[in-house]
A and B are shown apart, each in its own frame.
Chain A
């Protein structure tokens, strides 16, 4: 019974069996969409890994070379370090912002999101600039600055910088999860006399395992697939990982597509393994009674409150303040060879980059495409998240796997896959080289983000609410629109928002599959860097992040108002 009611498409008057049939049809349609959008490009890459490309033989045999085993080990190590650092940053903050009075300070949420909105290579470049020889760190902090520079140039330092940019993913998932935990779960334990430690280890931790494992999966996969820090810091310190190897294969002459395809296949296998692990860890739904749907509030002593604030400011300093000092100074410095002084600073670059013959078209295109891509991905993502819930079937597992698959390969592989597949000669018609290609590509790469968020919301919905709706005579459609959708809304909104923000900062797919003459924000910024126009690049970064922040504040305000309405 419940199963059919969960389907978005089960029509009003449908008998249970017909509803089930339609649900299966819906899953089938989703599966076809995902197979074309996600599966086909990845298969195109796998085929190249096996068959070679354009006269070059397959490179799968070279994978067992000791150097390459080291690359794989580095990748896993980096991913694990980023998971640890991100957890240290995100978990305490999520707890503070959901279950304690600190949540009244909504601006903290915005502050935590700023590093997320920063293009990853910009954050690495900013840190490298801050800690370079004779750089700001040494000028201000002296030997301590030199020490910070030394730390940044280690694998752990690199992992920390990557965590600064990735931890908001985990933060959002954990915070949304904690927001939705009913107060009764913790309050029952407190009334029964459990100590704070017992409440944490016996109640909160088990209830959060599934959400945390989902967040850790995202963090790990992002860390394994993000090329910003590996190709800047990693190459400097001689710490090759799979993604920097693939990047080298496809951007540095002589290009080696078979090798790129082979290493990508390894990355894909790694991603699928971790995904399987997460599925196993989070296999049991978290059952909790929905008696008191409000959020709980944990009182903090003065010491704990002080520690909480100190932790926030430390994370803020490392993830936002220091990189942004470097970025903003970079955007305002007239002559880089002259010392820092007011005479050597200007606001002019902000105006220069917003001219129609400079970065303005790139900015507008990115806004438009990110919006369309995020919206389509959200529609598709809700369908996926709802479809895969409940009883498992082979079809559903495939839908689930394909929906997160784009996050298990580096974006550059997916971009190459899009080109291989959509520019194939045998296709009678193709969106390739038009804006549609970019929309398809964005929708596909945003999808995992949306699905994870919606699923996270979905996992906390008490099925009895839907049963209650059915008992009260609601049709499947009504139950979905009046009960399910509002409960999913926080996940949908944050999924859309994150997808949109990723669209603004995404660089790899944007640079490779965009139509020839269409400029986009991140490729424009990186192009300015490559050509030595540092100030223009930094100025546009600031504009992008300020714009994203404004949007975030507006949506946060709306979210807050609606959640207050819900509690009232």
Chain B
């Protein structure tokens, strides 16, 4: 009896899946985001890095997402040097939680984060090894931490990510979202969960002053803007069409969704935005500093930078071209602020923002 029924269910399921399979679409393998082109063949540029010989042992790398980028970097480095790299990957919060819990007996050699503030905090506490990697001279000075304690190796811009099939018009700047076209159509990642969203507000305050910033947000909230979740869920919400625009969306996730074929558009606001440098540092307690330094050199060399560009990050070396559709650092208008200032004021600005708009 049971066997008969099981068989019937299986048969039905098989028929159903076959019929639907025939009618279904398929994932274009070119759009598989985990595959990225091999780094540009080493040209004779001054940024070409040659793997040092004599490295040995292993490295523990704690790295913020996206994991595809980390995996590509590690694979290439291991191929060049033979050093095995153990990766702990996750959101910046998970990575810092593990780091903080381990300070009693640190395990990480290299740390690669997605926001500036924690790196600045660790540097201040004397936990990072001062190091000036290969090619650091051509990195924008605002991306280099004090005393070379840490350094931004690629960046991501915050943008307006627009769903082109649901938005009534294409906004050009933050203030356009206060208009009737975007009534109840805007979502912003929650700055309590997203470090980049918090930095955006702090940078606005640093650049334009409190009065102008809160005036903008007063109007945005009056126009029905919602604040919800971290960066990924906010983009997902707009992709799925629940809202039309992400305010302060991370550019690289949007670019890779566009590459996949989603109906999205990335608009860099005309009045300015932030480009978050994603910092890397070697821990003072590293048990294999030579290999860690080699890894950092590789990350700033043309080979490592090209891998970032292929993953839609903005390279810190301006000579390395960005991916198709993305914008290089020089073409992005930024607010007038310093990362030190934003890191220092971020939490106070966040408190004000939360008590003004998010207290229920």
Contact = CB atoms under 8 A, between A and B. Distances in A.
B192 A336 contact: no
Interface residues of B, number: 73
A337 B236 CA distance: 9
A236 B242 contact: no
Contacts of A516: 60-62, 86-88, 107
Given A254-B347, A337-B264, A352-B32, A419 B102 contact: yes
Given A251-B93, A255-B96, A257-B101, A336 B65 contact: no
Interface string B80-93: 00000111111111
Contact of A517 (B26, B86, B93, B96): B86
A352 B97 contact: no
A342 interface: yes
B36 interface: no
A436 interface: no
Given A253-B118, A336-B262, A527 B65 contact: yes
- The listed residue with most A CB atoms (<10 A of its CB), out of B2, B105, B232, B360, is B105
Interface string B195-230: 100000000000000000000000000000000111
24 contacts: A55-B125, A133-B243, A135-B240, A238-B358, A250-B97, A253-B115, A253-B117, A254-B121, A335-B262, A336-B239, A342-B24, A346-B24, A346-B25, A346-B26, A347-B24, A352-B27, A419-B102, A420-B104, A423-B104, A425-B104, A425-B105, A512-B101, A530-B90, A533-B33
Contacts of A343: 23-25
Nearest to B227: A236
A54 B122 CA distance: 12
A106 B2 contact: yes
A534 interface: yes
B230 to A, nearest CB: 7
Nearest to A534: B236
B240 A337 contact: yes
Contacts, number: 158
A511 B262 contact: no
A336 B195 CA distance: 26
A62 interface: no
A450 interface: no
Nearest to A251: B93
Contacts of B23: 342-343
A433 B107 contact: yes
Contacts of B24: 332, 342-343, 345-347
Interface string B7-36: 000000000010011011111000011100
A512 B97 contact: yes
B333 interface: no
A512 B94 contact: yes
A347 B14 CA distance: 13
A135 B240 CA distance: 8
Contacts of B33: 533
Contacts of B100: 54, 255, 257
Contacts of B326: none
A362 to B, nearest CB: 11
Given A254-B347, A344-B25, A530 B60 contact: no
10 nearest A-B pairs in the assembled complex, by CB-CB distance: A251-B93, A517-B86, A238-B360, A516-B86, A348-B27, A133-B242, A419-B101, A516-B88, A337-B263, A342-B23
Contacts of A423: 101-102, 104-105, 107
A358 interface: yes
B325 interface: no
B51 interface: no
Interface string A248-278: 1011111101000000000000000000000
Among B98, B115, B263, the most chain A Cβ lie within 10 Å of the Cβ of B98
A523 interface: yes
Nearest to B358: A238
A253 B97 CA distance: 9
Nearest to B69: A531
Contacts of A134: 240-242
A329 to B, nearest CB: 11
Interface in A306-353: 332, 334-338, 342-349, 352
Nearest to A420: B101
A532 interface: yes
A134 B262 CA distance: 17
Which of A416, A420, A529, A531 counts the most B-chain CB atoms under 10 A from its CB?
Answer: A531
B52 interface: no
A532 B257 contact: yes
Given A134-B241, A336-B262, A517-B88, 16 more contacts: A106-B2, A252-B192, A252-B193, A255-B96, A255-B100, A334-B261, A336-B240, A337-B163, A337-B240, A337-B264, A342-B24, A343-B23, A512-B101, A517-B86, A531-B232, A532-B232
A134 B241 CA distance: 7
B34 A530 contact: no
B67 A531 contact: yes
Given A250-B97, A419-B102, A337 B253 contact: no
